[in-house]
A and B are shown apart, each in its own frame.
Chain A
């Protein structure tokens, strides 16, 4: 018996990395998982065939596409009880060198895109009379990061969005929580390695040195925290941010 037996979940940005790990863990816990990705391609088909779940493609930066995707998930499975706002875009460049369109694109996807997803999913949660929303911030949300001003701004704003929604929605038994993962073993590490001009193995070692746990995290480390916050236990954590980051920062924001 799983902790999410029969629960309808939607995970955004789930074609790879952490999102893919969440789909796997939720499916193992018995959930009916709608797997969102920007495009309906082989990668999405592969996640669904390997991890379980049902494809729900849509570019979350496109409000009409988001509404259509949510309507289609609801038509097949009923109202969404758990929403995981995981999709993110990140392009690293010094602030003054980054094209403003590229800078805003990150905010438009990560923050505004998820506001549209939440807005599309909420009426269903209200009909159901309960729900959980897990919002992804990042290690860089609370502390910022050089050459990541757009991404970090969006991820910091997502904490404030999560806290405010938590206050607003808890009386309706819709519990909003925030996860701020540290360095996790995802395809992003290859991008970081290429940017730094080192091998992937060397990138792992460089990151691991900065993490008290002595290793980078796995998608499953984060997925297990998301499952915890997807159950009714989320009531106790409404508005809280939790930090699976191996000890890299230990603040309370």
Chain B
């Protein structure tokens, strides 16, 4: 692959298994990969600054994958507001801050691909997971609306709802799905793809 066609991707949550596998797969496919750290996503301005710095080092960003890395759950009523806000920030906050940081330059160039990562819990529902399901579900809803806003500008936004990792779904399955959406998913907009290995049908 020539330098001219080398593409740059930003990945969040690369410290966790899913984000790690996605970043590694993108690198194996020849992407330059910038890793946005969780602390950089706590705040909109930090995220914009960090994405700008990485784009300066690695080149214009053509792919963004947001992989929340905080897993926290307890039966409903057991979170105090700080714990809930931390979870919501790690999911909806980090996802939207990363989009706000990376997508404007995609819109300017008229092309780009965003893949948000959510969970099968977002639509299946499981007792004891109300907080986590709500946090991941907010990403589904955000993705669909945001996808419609930027699709006319050439940016494709889709979501991967990861199936249960303890029931036959692997981070590699998520990485495969990311590569499909990046390479072959031109006509996918606002969709939710669910690699669940049959655990959720």
Residues of A within 8 A of B (CB): 163, 166-167, 170, 182, 212-214, 217-218, 221-222, 224-225, 227-228, 233, 235-240, 242-247, 250, 252
Contact = CB atoms under 8 A, between A and B. Distances in A.
A224 B189 contact: no
Contacts of A224: 184-185
Interface stretch (B40-48, B81-89, B125-133, B190-198): B190-198
A166 B194 CA distance: 14
Contacts of A233: 173, 176-177, 180
Contacts of B189: 212-213, 245-247, 250
Contact of A238 (B176, B177, B201): B201
Contacts of A244: 185, 187-188
B76 interface: no
A238 B197 CA distance: 6
Given A212-B152, A213-B187, A167 B201 contact: yes
Interface string B91-122: 00000000000000000000000000000000
Interface stretch (B3-11, B15-23, B29-37, B143-151): B143-151
Contacts of A227: 184
Chain B, interface residues (CB within 8 Å), range = 20 to 34
Given A163-B201, A236-B176, A250 B196 contact: no
Contact of A243 (B191, B195, B197): B191
Contact of B201 (A166, A242, A245, A246): A166
Nearest to A235: B197
Contact of A246 (B123, B169, B187): B187
A242 B184 contact: no
A214 B191 contact: no
Given A212-B151, A250-B147, A236 B187 contact: no
A208 to B, nearest CB: 11
Contacts of B169: 236
Interface of B: 123, 144, 147-148, 151-152, 156, 161, 163, 169-170, 173, 176-177, 180, 184-198, 201
A170 B167 CA distance: 13
A236 B197 contact: yes
16 contacts: A167-B201, A212-B151, A212-B190, A213-B189, A227-B184, A228-B184, A233-B177, A236-B196, A237-B193, A238-B196, A238-B201, A240-B195, A242-B193, A245-B187, A246-B187, A250-B190
Contacts of B198: 166-167, 170, 238-239
Contacts of A247: 147-148, 151, 189-191
A229 to B, nearest CB: 9
A212 B187 contact: no
A237 B187 contact: no
A218 B186 CA distance: 10
Contacts of A213: 151, 156, 187, 189
Given A224-B184, A252-B123, A240 B193 contact: yes
Contacts of B177: 233, 236
A44 to B, nearest CB: 27
The 4 closest A-B pairs by CB, nearest first: A247-B189, A239-B201, A236-B195, A224-B184
Given A166-B201, A233-B177, A237-B193, 20 more contacts: A166-B198, A212-B148, A214-B151, A225-B180, A225-B184, A225-B185, A227-B184, A233-B173, A236-B163, A236-B177, A236-B196, A237-B194, A239-B198, A243-B188, A245-B187, A247-B191, A250-B144, A250-B189, A250-B190, A250-B191
A206 B189 CA distance: 19
Contact of A214 (B152, B161, B170, B195): B152
B6 to A, nearest CB: 22
A250 B180 CA distance: 18
B151 A240 contact: no
